[in-house]
């Protein structure tokens, strides 16, 4: 059903094969690209062909897929990136949205709303929820501008 | 209604197929982490095995009727399991998913229910998350020591099986165990396909074993493996629940297809019988009138 990956070639492959999956669909399946930049919890991480096998946890942020001069950007909520030894990358995201479908005005509104909630939060739960809202919206904001 | 249900089964099947790459990749990551952590002690709250005092049962039923014995089977199984737990002296709490189950448990106030959730036509990760959150908090807060999932497994278009799977505690290897302790390796996955054989809709079940590749010894972890495992297991829990919801939906649709098909056949047969009786009566009346007229004519002549 999902074909097994080819064995590690002896020379460096020129393209990175990406499987970008969501719980309800496969966004990209075996797409041959030049580079993928993922928002790992430790920072933005670029994956090129021949990258060392890695497992990384992702935080809400910008995911960009570079193919020649073409760049496709998605905002993902969280997930994992799994790079294998033969230039195959599996990116799992819980939720992902192409950047052009996000409304900047809504993002600004959400950000100010949550910042206000954070300032007026009284219980720990409220504070935590407001903080999450602020984090996600500021990540969205920087994704849209960056 | 049979054709409507048939179209929906196809859509339900597609949903299962689409969700597959996600859970397969998740299993792969889980495997590779386990390989690396074999010597270390994994302390993740979701895998804690505690002596069982209280069990949470997540019961998945349908939203609507007209599906034959579907909802009945699963509720009977739930009742049987509750009785078993009572004889073992264990406490229990129910989480009901689906309007039919909700109304059943509402009518029985003697069974403690933690939460009522409505099912839906298209189970998404959001609904699965709501159930996962509830189950997660119950388990981690040590209110319950074991979580079991009761849903209907899709066997074929005419057969479906209510099964009980142990959801929590998760085995770190991601095995799925049912109550008898029979464990299925997470890499082995059964899935069904709606196809046509000799012009009739049938279902083929296939077992696929995900390729567990030889893992590179130089596998780098961006974060601490235990931390990654910590974040991974709730996601895995979510995908398990989603899978159960999707299978339940597919079984419900198949049951509805069969029930409606039978109803249509019965109605056609009834129509035929009634038409026959009607025509017979009509003929008899006409014959009677003709006879009267002939007799009358004879009497005059």
Backbone dihedral angles phi then psi of residue A121, each to the nearest 5 degrees: -70, 140
Q: What is the pLDDT of residue A109?
A: 86
Helical packing angle, A124-145 and A104-120, nearest 10°: 150
Report the alpha-carbon distance of residue B215 to residue B178 in Å, rounded.
29
Dist CA B128 CA B243 (whole Å) = 9
Element housing B153 (H / E): strand B146-154
* A44 Cβ neighbours under 8 A, 6+ residues apart: A37, A38, A61, A62
Helices H / strands E in chain B, number of each: 5, 10
Tell whether A132 lies on the interface with B, counting CB pairs under 8 A.
no
What's the confidence (pLDDT) of residue B271? 96
On whether the CB atoms of residues B57 and B81 are closer than 8 A, the answer is yes
Please give the mean pLDDT across all residues of chain B. 79
Q: Which pTM does this prediction carry?
A: 0.78
The residue with greater pLDDT, A44 or B201, is A44
Percent over 70 (pLDDT), chain B: 79
Does the structure show a pLDDT above 90 at B280?
yes
pLDDT at B202 over 90: no
The answer on pLDDT for B195 being more than 60 is no
For residues A115 and B30, give the distance between their C-alpha atoms in angstroms, rounded to a whole number: 37
pLDDT for res B291: 94
Q: How far is B19 from chain A (nearest CA, A)?
A: 5
pLDDT of residue B294: 94
For residue A114, give how far its alpha carbon lies from the nearest alpha carbon of chain B (Å): 22
Q: Which residue of B has its CA nearest to A57?
A: B228
B269-278 mean pLDDT? 96
pLDDT of residue B15 exceeding 70: yes
**Region of residue B7 (phi > 0: left; psi between -120 and 50: alpha; otherwise: beta):** alpha
| Distance in angstroms (rounded) separating the CA atoms of residues A114 and B105 | 39
- A vs B, Cβ pairs < 8 A, gives 96
Q: How many Å lie between the alpha carbon of B105 and the closest alpha carbon of chain A?
A: 31
Which chain B residue has its CA at the smallest distance from A30's CA?
Answer: B21
Q: CB–CB of A24 and B124 under 8 A? A: yes
Determine whether the interchain pair B220/A25 forms a contact, defined as Cβ–Cβ distance below 8 Å.
Answer: no
User: Is B270 a residue whose pLDDT tops 90?
Assistant: yes
Q: What is the mean pLDDT of residues B94-120?
A: 79
Q: Who among B32, B232, B239 is closest to A23 (CB)?
A: B239
Average pLDDT over residues A71-86: 85
Which of chain B's residues have a Cβ under 8 Å away from the Cβ of A76? none
- The band of B296, judged by pLDDT with boundaries at 50, 70 and 90, is very high
In angstroms, rounded to a whole number, what is the distance separating the alpha carbons of residues A73 and A77?
13
Q: Any bridge partners for residue A39, and if so which? A: A44
Residues A81-110: tens digit of each pLDDT: 888 877 888 888 888 888 888 888 888 888
Nearby residues of B186 by Cβ (< 8 Å), 6 or more positions away: B27, B30, B173, B174, B175, B176
Cβ separation A42–B213 shorter than 8 A: no
Most confident of A72-81, B206-215, B226-235, B264-273: B264-273
Distance, in Å, from the CA atom of A105 to the CA atom of A141, rounded to the nearest integer, reads 10
**pLDDT tens across B26-72, in order?**
877 777 777 666 656 666 777 777 888 888 888 888 888 888 888 89
Is the pLDDT assigned to residue B96 strictly greater than 90?
Answer: no
Cβ of B220 within 8 Å of Cβ of A95? The answer is no
- CA proximity to B163, closest of B257, B256, B253, B243: B243
Q: What integer pLDDT is reported at residue B166 of this predicted model?
A: 84
Q: How far is B51 from chain A (nearest CA, A)?
A: 31
| Catalytic residue positions of B, numbered | 67
pLDDT of B272 reads 96
Q: Supply the ipTM of this predicted assembly.
A: 0.73
Interface contact A99, partner B, CB < 8 A: no
């Amino acid at each position: 059903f999902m074909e097994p990956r080819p064995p590690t070639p002896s020379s460096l492959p020129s393209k990175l094969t990406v499987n970008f999956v969501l719980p309800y669909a496969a966004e990209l399946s075996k797409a041959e690209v030049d580079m993928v930049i993922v928002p790992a919890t430790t920072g933005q991480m670029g994956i090129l062909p021949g990258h060392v096998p890695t497992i990384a946890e992702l935080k809400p942020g910008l995911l960009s897929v570079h193919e020649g001069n073409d760049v496709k950007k998605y905002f993902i909520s969280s997930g994992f990136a799994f790079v294998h030894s033969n230039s195959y990358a599996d990116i799992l995201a819980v939720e992902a949205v192409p950047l052009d479908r996000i409304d900047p005005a809504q993002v600004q509104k959400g950000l100010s709303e949550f910042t206000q909630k954070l300032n007026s939060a009284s219980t720990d739960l409220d504070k935590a929820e407001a903080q999450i809202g602020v984090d996600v919206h500021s990540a969205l904001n920087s994704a849209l501008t960056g | 209604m049979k054709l409507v249900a048939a179209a929906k089964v196809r859509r339900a099947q597609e949903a299962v197929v689409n969700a597959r790459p996600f859970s397969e990749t998740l299993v792969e990551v889980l495997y590779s982490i386990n390989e690396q952590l074999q010597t270390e002690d994994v302390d993740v709250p979701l895998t804690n095995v505690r002596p069982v005092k209280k069990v949470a049962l997540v019961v998945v039923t349908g939203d609507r009727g007209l599906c034959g014995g579907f909802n009945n089977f699963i509720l009977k199984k739930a009742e049987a399991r509750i009785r078993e737990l009572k004889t073992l002296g264990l406490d229990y709490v129910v989480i009901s998913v689906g309007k039919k189950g909700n109304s059943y448990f509402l009518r029985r106030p003697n069974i403690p229910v933690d939460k009522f959730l409505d099912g839906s036509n298209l189970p998404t990760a959001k609904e699965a998350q709501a159930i996962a959150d509830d189950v997660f908090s119950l388990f981690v807060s040590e209110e319950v020591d074991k979580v079991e999932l009761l849903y209907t497994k899709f066997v074929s278009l005419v057969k479906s099986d209510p099964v009980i799977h142990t959801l929590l505690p998760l085995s770190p290897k991601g095995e799925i165990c049912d109550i008898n302790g029979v464990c299925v390796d997470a890499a082995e996955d059964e899935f069904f396909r709606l196809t046509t054989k000799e012009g009739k809709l049938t279902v083929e079940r296939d077992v696929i074993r995900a390729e567990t590749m030889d893992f590179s010894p130089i596998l780098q972890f961006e974060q601490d493996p235990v931390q990654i495992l910590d974040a991974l297991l709730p996601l895995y829990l979510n995908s398990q629940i989603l899978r159960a919801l999707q299978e339940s939906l597919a079984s419900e649709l198949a049951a509805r297809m069969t029930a409606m098909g039978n109803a249509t056949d019965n109605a056609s047969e009834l129509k035929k019988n009634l038409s026959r009786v009607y025509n017979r009566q009509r003929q008899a009346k006409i014959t009677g009138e003709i006879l009267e007229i002939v007799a009358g004519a004879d009497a005059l002549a």
